[in-house]
């Protein structure tokens, strides 16, 4: 069958939808990370520059160390949307349920995501698994629409890339990632200054939480998998919240023997499992088995409980991912 050469690409459809509409709501997933909150705010700033109306909504407050981000005070925190918009732009959500916001299903949805497993729930869908962060996709939209890259927008985009690449340590980085960072730097952003704010302005309570978690850490599979458990009681006793856990899952990877980390977080509605890994170890395959998703080195999913039997199954799956990676790694000559 001959390909329809006149059919617009997914990216072109997104640009057309944004150009033709006026009033936007921009949402992302619950418990937002740097990529989610940075992408939302950057896109809202950009749309306002070309005369659009744009509102940013989140289900939950972002971690406290993002309080320096431009536009943070304009975010509306709610779990229900009653107003109708010309379009709702949903960023980095594999499914609409990831937003944990009611009232979105009847809107015109523009779905923009880079996580494998996206269910293509939007009226318009643009999926790009090669993007190291959703912020890279937002950068492409801004560039295509000819919107000037202000320092505020550039700062927000840098936060998306810095956090979603694990400080440029994950395998999702491409040459394009560094090209974007070069452009961002030229817009007046100081990478060192932003990194200092994000990673070196923590509360003392988080430091105490970090020490407690690492002290209770378990090693499985001859030290290849580090297992961390966070209960609501631990958070309460240390004066911390779920947001304070951001980044802690990566710490055990600094140990040479540790190839992957499993973090079990107790939430009000169940258990959130976060997975991290090194190199070519694909923990995303483990997450997808449990209805989750993510990237090769950073993935996650929800499960109803974290009893010993459940944890053992998940840990065994992670160990299998490590074994399979080693089995398929070419022998060095």
Q: What total number of domains does the chain contain?
A: 2
256 and 294 in a single domain? The answer is yes
For residues 105-129, give the mean pLDDT: 93
Task: Give pLDDT tens digits for 272-325.
Answer: 999 999 988 999 999 999 988 888 888 899 888 878 899 999 999 999 999 988
Task: Give pLDDT tens digits for 146-190.
Answer: 999 999 999 999 999 999 998 888 777 899 999 999 999 999 999
Residue 212: phi, psi to the nearest 5?
Answer: -65, -45
Task: Give pLDDT tens digits for 1-54.
Answer: 455 556 789 999 999 999 999 999 999 999 899 999 999 999 999 999 999 999
140, 163, 198 - which closes a domain: 198
- Beta strand ranges found along the chain (DSSP E): 23-27, 53-58, 76-77, 87-91, 109-113, 124-127, 218-220, 225-230, 260-267, 270-277, 293-294, 298-303
Give domain status of residue 67, yes or no. yes
Asked if residues 163 and 27 have their Cβ atoms less than 8 Å apart, the reply is no
Helix, strand, coil shares, percent, the chain, to 5: 40, 20, 40
Flag whether pLDDT at 214 surpasses 50.
yes
Asked if residues 99 and 29 have their Cβ atoms less than 8 Å apart, the reply is yes
47 and 148 in a single domain? The answer is yes
217 and 172 in a single domain? The answer is no
- CA dist 244 and 232 (Å) reads 12
Q: What is the CATH number of the domain that holds 65?
A: 3.90.1640.10
Query: Given this model, what pLDDT does residue 331 score?
Result: 37
Comparing 53 with 203, the larger pLDDT belongs to 53
143, 172, 198 - which closes a domain: 198
Residue 232 Cα distances to 202, 205, 275, angstroms = 20, 15, 19
Query: Given this model, what pLDDT does residue 330 score?
Result: 41
212 and 150 in a single domain? The answer is no
Query: Given this model, what pLDDT does residue 332 score?
Result: 36
Q: Note down the domain range covering 181.
A: 10-198
Give domain status of residue 165, yes or no. yes
155 and 37 in a single domain? The answer is yes
198, 228, 259 - which closes a domain: 198
156 and 253 in a single domain? The answer is no
- CA dist 333 and 322 (Å) reads 22
């Amino acid at each position: 069958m001959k390909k329809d050469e006149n059919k617009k690409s997914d990216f072109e459809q997104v640009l057309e939808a944004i150009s033709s509409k006026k009033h936007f709501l921009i949402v992302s997933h619950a418990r937002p990370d740097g990529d989610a909150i940075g992408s939302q705010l950057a896109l809202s700033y950009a749309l306002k520059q070309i005369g659009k109306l744009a509102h940013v909504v989140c289900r939950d407050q972002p971690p406290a160390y993002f309080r320096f981000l431009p536009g943070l005070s304009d975010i509306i925190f709610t779990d229900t949307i009653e107003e109708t918009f010309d379009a709702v732009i949903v960023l980095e959500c594999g499914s609409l349920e990831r937003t944990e916001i009611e009232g979105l299903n009847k809107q015109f949805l523009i779905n923009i995501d880079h996580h494998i497993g996206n269910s293509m729930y939007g009226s318009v869908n643009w999926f790009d698994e090669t993007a190291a962060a959703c912020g890279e996709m937002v950068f492409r939209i801004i560039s295509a629409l000819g919107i000037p890259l202000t320092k505020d927008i550039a700062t927000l985009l840098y936060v998306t890339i810095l956090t979603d690449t694990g400080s440029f340590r994950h395998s999702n980085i491409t040459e394009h990632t560094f090209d974007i960072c070069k452009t961002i730097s030229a817009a007046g952003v100081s990478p060192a200054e932003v990194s200092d704010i994000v990673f070196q302005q923590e509360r003392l309570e988080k430091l105490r939480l970090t020490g407690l978690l690492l002290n209770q850490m378990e090693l499985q599979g001859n030290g290849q998998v580090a297992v961390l458990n966070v209960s609501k009681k631990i958070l309460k006793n240390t004066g911390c919240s779920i947001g304070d856990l951001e980044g802690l899952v990566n710490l055990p990877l600094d140990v040479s023997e540790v190839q992957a980390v499993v973090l079990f977080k107790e939430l009000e509605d169940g258990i959130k499992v976060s997975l991290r890994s090194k190199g070519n170890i694909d923990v995303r395959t483990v997450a997808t088995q449990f209805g989750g998703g993510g990237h090769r080195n950073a993935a996650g999913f929800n499960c109803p409980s974290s009893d010993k039997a459940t944890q053992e199954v998940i840990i065994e799956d992670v160990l299998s991912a490590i074994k399979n990676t080693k089995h398929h790694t070419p022998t060095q000559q």
